[in-house]
Amino acid sequence: MTRDLPPVLHGPRLDLVLVTVEQLLSRDGSRDPVPLALPDPHNVLDPRTSPLLYRIVQVRTDPSVNPWLIRLAVLRGPEPVIVGLGNFHGPPDQAGMVEIGYSVIPGYRGQGFGREIATTMWDAAARHPDVKILRATVTPDNEPSLAIVRAAGLVHVGEQEDPVDGLELVFELSVEEYHSGA
């Protein structure tokens, strides 16, 4: 198994704080959830709008993958606030590929938080010795996310059909190219 990522990834304005195994598993609907470190008035971990249910299955199967899963995007300040989440889809696969996803709460969109979440996650993954390829998938009509992946240099390499989101465009970039600013 790969080495873990740190529990907090630091961006310029945001901390991406790992959701612990206990916090994650307690949100399966069978009990009261273990509280997060901060209030979550927007319920960023709502299973209808987040990857929570997929990640619960992964952690139940292998809790050691948790450092490669859901992170709360916390805006630093006198009163830190959750503005969204970042999400690795899992640890690097056999080819060294990691995929990310991210979302920003509607009231915080348009302020560069999506770009910061994605970049912070790609930066952390690109420093990890087991990661060789960075990936993101985006629905064709999600212009803000398309701009983020293209600005980072990720290249459209194909399409896939997601059972929830429908058609997704697949973007990838090698870690070597990422480091060179390609």
The whole-angstrom separation of Cα 4 and Cα 47 is 25
Q: What values do phi and psi take at 99, rounded to 5?
A: -110, 140
pLDDT of residue 164: 81
Asked whether residue 142 is assigned to any structural domain, the reply reads no
Residue range of the domain that includes 44: 8-131
Ramachandran quadrant class, 72 (left: phi over 0; alpha: psi -120 to 50; beta: rest): beta
User: Which residue's structure tokens are 């600005």?
Assistant: 151
CATH of the domain at 111: 3.40.630
Asked whether residue 60 is assigned to any structural domain, the reply reads yes
Asked whether residue 17 is assigned to any structural domain, the reply reads yes
Asked whether residue 152 is assigned to any structural domain, the reply reads no
Domains in the chain, number: 1
Indicate the pTM of the whole model. Answer: 0.94
User: Which residue's structure tokens are 């390829």?
Assistant: 133
Are 110 and 73 contacting, i.e. CB atoms less than 8 angstroms apart?
Answer: no
Asked whether residue 107 is assigned to any structural domain, the reply reads yes
CA distances from 152 to 30, 79, 119, 124, 156 (A): 40, 30, 8, 14, 12
Asked whether residue 98 is assigned to any structural domain, the reply reads yes
pLDDT digits (tens), the chain, 182 positions? 447 899 999 999 999 999 999 999 999 888 889 999 899 999 999 888 889 999 999 999 999 999 999 999 999 999 999 999 999 999 999 999 999 999 999 999 999 999 999 999 999 999 999 999 999 999 999 999 999 999 999 999 999 998 888 999 999 999 999 999 75
Asked whether residue 181 is assigned to any structural domain, the reply reads no
pLDDT of residue 1: 43
Asked whether residue 169 is assigned to any structural domain, the reply reads no
- Give the DSSP H/E element, type plus range, for residue 25: helix 21-25
Instruction: List all residues 6 or more positions away from 152 whose beta carbon is below 8 Å from its beta carbon.
Output: 118, 119, 122, 173, 178
